[in-house]
Amino acid sequence: MMKIPESCKCPACAGYLIFDIALQRLRCDHCSREYSVSEYEDFLGKKTVNSENRGAAPAKDGGYRRRVMRRTYICSTCGGEVSPGVLSASASCPFCGKPIVFSDKILDTEEPDLIIPFMKEKKFFAEEYSKLFYNRHFVPGDFLREAQEKNISAQYFPFWIFDISAGGRAEAKAEKISRKGDKKWEHTVFELSGEGTEEFCGIPQDGTDELDDELSQRLEPFDVAGSVPYSFAYFAGHNVRIGNRGSRKSFKDVERRVKASLDSFLISGDDFDACRITEREYVIKPGSIRYAMFPVYLLDIPWRGEVFKYAMNGQTGRIVGNFPVKKFNVNMCVLFFACISMLLILGLGFLADYLPGFSQVLIFIPMLLVICATCYILARTSLPFWFENGVLALLGGLAGISGLLSAFFAMSGKDSDSRTAVFVLFFIFLVVFFGYHSLLKGRLEDEARDSLTGLAPNADAYAVSEKCVISSRNCRESGRYVSDSKSMRKS
């Protein structure tokens, strides 16, 4: 059966209203009149429900009835037939282009207790993305042109919000490891235990398979204090996705994060070289469960067979993602510095022939200083980034390898000792090249973490408690042993 969808229409001219993010008001696309959401609700004769008085029912599970998901609608403006996707609660009419909100699909699955409206515009996302682009190094120049503002989609995604009380006890083994002789390590073993409770307030978990859990956690935190009661008027002109995961399924993911937080809270292994939880007894009780719609901007950029995904928290402006790297330029940069290092080392080697007797061994000191100085240049200075220009990178790489090959050929025509030295130096060159490459790659990864909001090492432990109480915490030394490995003993 076809339905007539609900749309936000201007009380003055019957034009379509759009929720303007900058104004935080509804604006008519025809007469440009503006209305607050409460004014529009009053016009419709509807009463918004205070979100603080709702959603305290742990039995919520978003009864996702599949029979209400696939529906066909008739546009109230042009009479065209609209068939939205199964998980879509908004669309633009394919005939007249007017924005439509399918509020009946939202209400028939799970009416949101609250909404966090978009606070940041697409323009902000595009500007911040550009800043991040220019703060990164060795990124293809034409990659920025693929990030068009028109390709950025503003979407409301469903989230479950959990208040949880958790507590219990945990036991762990930890070790302090120190060197004891050649290839031997002494392990001092400690037994740790802790008991306590934590209160978690407002742990979010996305309620759809469309949004990757890792991505949604990287976008946190969402400030629930800035939420408003549900009104479909906030969705006007934006994409809305319907959840397909109930609170029970989402709670399992939240429970894992709470356990990780309890592990970190009850067992503090920061003072040890290795730590492993051996036993845990936790009681995790869900309190209130609320259903919410959170704002997210998405941008996907296909690039040479790979898709680079970017997302921004529409409330706070927190951006996550990563950029491609021009591997050719990086390799040419490393090749140049590796060749320069080897040429300097070769020069010092020839200089050693003029030193008397045993003092020739001392030439290894300036050779080592050359490698250390080059490492410093790659790790700390802006010199490597001269090679971001493709022409300079190619010329630098060719110049470096030409100079090194010339030196090698000049040496290889002499006696057998010279040829042996060439093979040794070539092996050293390979070690130096891959060492420099690893160093520069590490620097680029550090810059990515600084310029883009990266995922924490333990993302599951993001659940931050509002209140925590330690009942007891014990630590005692239980023994020592010596092994051939620096790793913690599993048994």
Q: For 58-74, what is each residue's pLDDT tens digit? A: 345 544 444 445 566 66
Which tens digit of pLDDT belongs to each residue from 184-201?
888 899 999 999 998 888
| Distance of alpha carbon 240 from alpha carbon 89, whole angstroms | 5
Buried (b) or exposed (e) across 186-200, using 16+ Cβ within 10 A? ebbbbebbbbbbbeb
Residue 106 domain-assigned? no
Contacts of residue 238, defined as CB under 8 A and 6 or more positions apart, other chains included, come to: 19, 90, 118, 154, 155, 156
Residue 214 domain-assigned? yes
Residue 147, pLDDT above cutoff 80? no
Query: Which pLDDT belongs to residue 90?
Result: 60
How many domains, the chain? 2
Contacts of residue 390, defined as CB under 8 A and 6 or more positions apart, other chains included, come to: 326, 328, 329
| pLDDT: which is higher, 378 or 248 | 378
Query: Which pLDDT belongs to residue 54?
Result: 37
In percent, the amount of the chain with pLDDT more than 90 equals 20
Residue 301, pLDDT above cutoff 70? yes
445 with 471, same domain: the answer is: no
Residue 491, pLDDT above cutoff 60? yes
Distances (CA, A) of 86 to 50, 66, 94, 408: 29, 9, 17, 67
Among residues 52, 93, 53, the alpha carbon closest in space to that of 72 is found at 93
Kind of pairing between the strands at 306-313 and 274-303: antiparallel
Q: pTM for the whole thing?
A: 0.76
What is the pLDDT confidence band of residue 460, given thresholds at 50, 70 and 90?
Answer: very low
| Distance of alpha carbon 356 from alpha carbon 95, whole angstroms | 91
220 with 341, same domain: the answer is: no
Contacts of residue 421, defined as CB under 8 A and 6 or more positions apart, other chains included, come to: 349, 411
231 with 185, same domain: the answer is: yes
Residue 276, pLDDT above cutoff 50? yes
The answer to whether residues 20 and 211 touch, using CB atoms and an 8 Å cutoff, is no
Query: Which pLDDT belongs to residue 384?
Result: 93
Residue 313 domain-assigned? yes
Q: How many whole angstroms from its chain centre is CA 351? A: 52
462 with 434, same domain: the answer is: no
Query: Which pLDDT belongs to residue 145?
Result: 73
406 with 460, same domain: the answer is: no
- Mean pLDDT computed over 216-240: 85
Residue 140 domain-assigned? yes
The answer to whether residues 21 and 120 touch, using CB atoms and an 8 Å cutoff, is yes
What is the pLDDT confidence band of residue 93, given thresholds at 50, 70 and 90?
Answer: low
Residue 77, pLDDT above cutoff 70? no
333 with 360, same domain: the answer is: yes
Residue 411 domain-assigned? yes
366 with 284, same domain: the answer is: no
Query: Which pLDDT belongs to residue 283?
Result: 92
Query: Which pLDDT belongs to residue 102?
Result: 63
Instruction: Share the mean pLDDT of the chain.
Output: 80
Residue 19 domain-assigned? no
Instruction: State the virtual CA torsion across 315, 321, 323, 324 in degrees, nearest 10.
Output: -150
Residue 161 domain-assigned? yes
Residue 166, pLDDT above cutoff 60? yes
Residue 38 domain-assigned? no
Query: Which pLDDT belongs to residue 207?
Result: 86
166 with 296, same domain: the answer is: yes
Residue 158, pLDDT above cutoff 80? yes
What is the pLDDT confidence band of residue 81, given thresholds at 50, 70 and 90?
Answer: low
Residue 10, pLDDT above cutoff 90? no
Instruction: State the virtual CA torsion across 258, 260, 261, 265 in degrees, nearest 10.
Output: 140
The answer to whether residues 464 and 164 touch, using CB atoms and an 8 Å cutoff, is no
Residue 126, pLDDT above cutoff 60? yes
Domain span at residue 427 reads 327-451
| Distance of alpha carbon 177 from alpha carbon 487, whole angstroms | 9
Query: What's the length of the chain?
Result: 491
Kind of pairing between the strands at 306-313 and 319-320: antiparallel
Query: Which pLDDT belongs to residue 109?
Result: 64
The answer to whether residues 191 and 479 touch, using CB atoms and an 8 Å cutoff, is no
Which tens digit of pLDDT belongs to each residue from 430-449?
999 999 999 999 999 888 87
Residue bearing tokens 């936000």? 8
474 with 428, same domain: the answer is: no
311 with 421, same domain: the answer is: no
The answer to whether residues 82 and 100 touch, using CB atoms and an 8 Å cutoff, is yes
Pick from 126-135, 359-368, 437-446: least confident: 359-368
What is the pLDDT confidence band of residue 339, given thresholds at 50, 70 and 90?
Answer: very high
463 with 442, same domain: the answer is: no
| Distance of alpha carbon 433 from alpha carbon 371, whole angstroms | 11
Query: Which pLDDT belongs to residue 421?
Result: 75
Pick from 107-111, 215-219, 473-477: least confident: 107-111
Query: Which pLDDT belongs to residue 55?
Result: 38
362 with 299, same domain: the answer is: no
Query: Which pLDDT belongs to residue 85?
Result: 52
Among residues 39, 4, 34, 18, the alpha carbon closest in space to that of 99 is found at 18
